[in-house]
Amino acid sequence: MSTGLLYFLVVLIWGSSWIGIEYQLGVVAPELSIAYRFLLSSVMLAGFCLATRRSLRFSWRAHLLMAAQGLTLFCLNYLMFYWSAGYLTSGLMAIVFSTMTVMNLINGAILFRHPIDRRVGAGALLGLIGLSCVFWPEIAGFDASSTAMIGLLLSLAGTFLASLGNMVSVKLKAEEIPVIQSNTIGMAYGAIGSLLLAVIGGASFAYDPHPSYSISLFMLALFASVIGFTCYLTLVQRLGAGQAAYTTVLFPIVALGISTFVENYHWTILAVIGIALVLCGNLLVLRRRGAVRLRRIGSPAQS
């Protein structure tokens, strides 16, 4: 498969997967929806590993790392976004998630002492200004109970947790643990963590019989998790994580386009300016000098 086609598939799949989260809300508790999704994804990937004779045997230390990855990248961060979906449109959630590029660099500097240059700081500033423009009505009339502000804070928390999951992925790479196998086991740990949270929270174990729920669940598990990750990781191998991370700048545009027609998202001049600033900030970060550092830190993976 050509690099261009892989790139197109990642942007299209991950850009459209955000709307799938909206169809998961309602009858089933978010913790259970996340558990169903990643349990199904893990089973699919496990079948692939068995079919291709990829070993799933690892040391207890490796399992601790994969459990940490599962909880941050395939459990808690998704829980934040499922909760956020009750307050924000899928397009706006994708915009917030695109700030992952900056969070990865900052967390990489803190945890791995990777230097951050001035261009990264400028990109982060543009991103913050852009988010401020998009959510200016809520900021101007700040109210702790504002639905949009709650959604923003939940989305930022989810993005930060996913970034921490990326940092664990860096450690897994250093331990020479293959990505596909680590994702297979990590997703299983994420599903188990979500189930435990559902039990602790007293959630009612249910399943939504409506076709929209089952279809969105299957699409998220197969396309967003299994196929999306496969295409993305292939891009990483061919181009490096730096160039592959451009997908995170483009898929919010797809998400907002879908949100405009499906969720009746209303565009304003200030929102357009803010979104442009967020995207420009991310591009500035990704195009910075010394892009090899970004390859070491890794790039985001959500949806």
Mean pLDDT for 2-9 is: 82
Q: Give the model's confidence band at 152: pLDDT under 50 very low, under 70 low, under 90 confident, else very high.
A: confident
For the cut 70, the answer to whether the pLDDT of residue 296 exceeds it is no
Helices (H), the chain: 3-22, 30-51, 60-71, 77-84, 90-97, 100-112, 118-134, 136-140, 147-174, 179-200, 211-219, 228-239, 241-244, 247-262, 269-286, 292-297
- Residue 155 clears pLDDT 80, i.e. is over it: yes
Q: What is the mean pLDDT of the chain?
A: 81
Among 187, 125, 131, smallest CA distance to 159 is for 131
Instruction: Write the pLDDT tens digit of every residue in 19-30.
Output: 888 888 888 999
Residue 93, amino acid: M
Given a cut of 60, whether residue 142 has pLDDT beyond it is: no
Using CB atoms within 10 Å of the CB of residue 54, give its burial: 0 to 12 exposed, 13 to 18 middle, 19+ buried: middle
CB 288 within 8 A of CB 126: no
* Alpha carbon distance 159, 77 (integer Å): 7
Close Cβ partners of 146 (under 8 Å, ≥ 6 residues apart): 138
* Mean pLDDT of the region 10-27: 84
Q: What is the pLDDT of residues 51-60, one digit of tens each?
A: 999 999 999 9
Q: Is the pLDDT of residue 291 over 90?
A: no
Q: Which of 69-73, 158-162, 188-192, 225-229 has the lowest mean pLDDT?
A: 225-229
Going by C-alpha positions, the residue among 29, 188, 32, 24 that lies closest to residue 93 is 24
Q: Other C-beta atoms within 10 Å of 124: how many?
A: 21
pLDDT of 141 > 70? The answer is no
Rounded CA Rg of the chain:
18
Query: Of the candidates 75, 85, 20, 84, which has an alpha carbon nearest to the alpha carbon of residue 254?
Result: 20
Q: b/e per residue, 208-225, with b = 16+ CB within 10 A?
A: beeeebeebbebbbbbbb
Query: Does residue 274 have a pLDDT over 80?
Result: yes
Place of tokens 């998220």: 220
Better-scored residue on pLDDT, 197 or 238 = 197
Q: What is the pLDDT of residues 75-90, one digit of tens each?
A: 999 999 989 988 887 7
How confident is the model at residue 286, as a pLDDT?
60
Q: pLDDT (tens digit, 9 = 90+) per residue, 205-216? A: 889 999 999 999
**Confidence at 288, pLDDT banded by 50, 70, 90:** low
Non-local CB neighbours of 266 within 8 Å, separated by 6+ positions: none
Question: Is the dihedral angle over the CA atoms 258, 123, 231, 235 positive or is it negative?
Answer: positive
pLDDT score, position 29: 93
Query: Which among 177, 160, 162 has a CA at the least distance from the CA of 66?
Result: 177
Q: Per-residue confidence at 96, pLDDT binned at 50, 70, 90?
A: confident
Extents of the domains making up the chain: 3-297
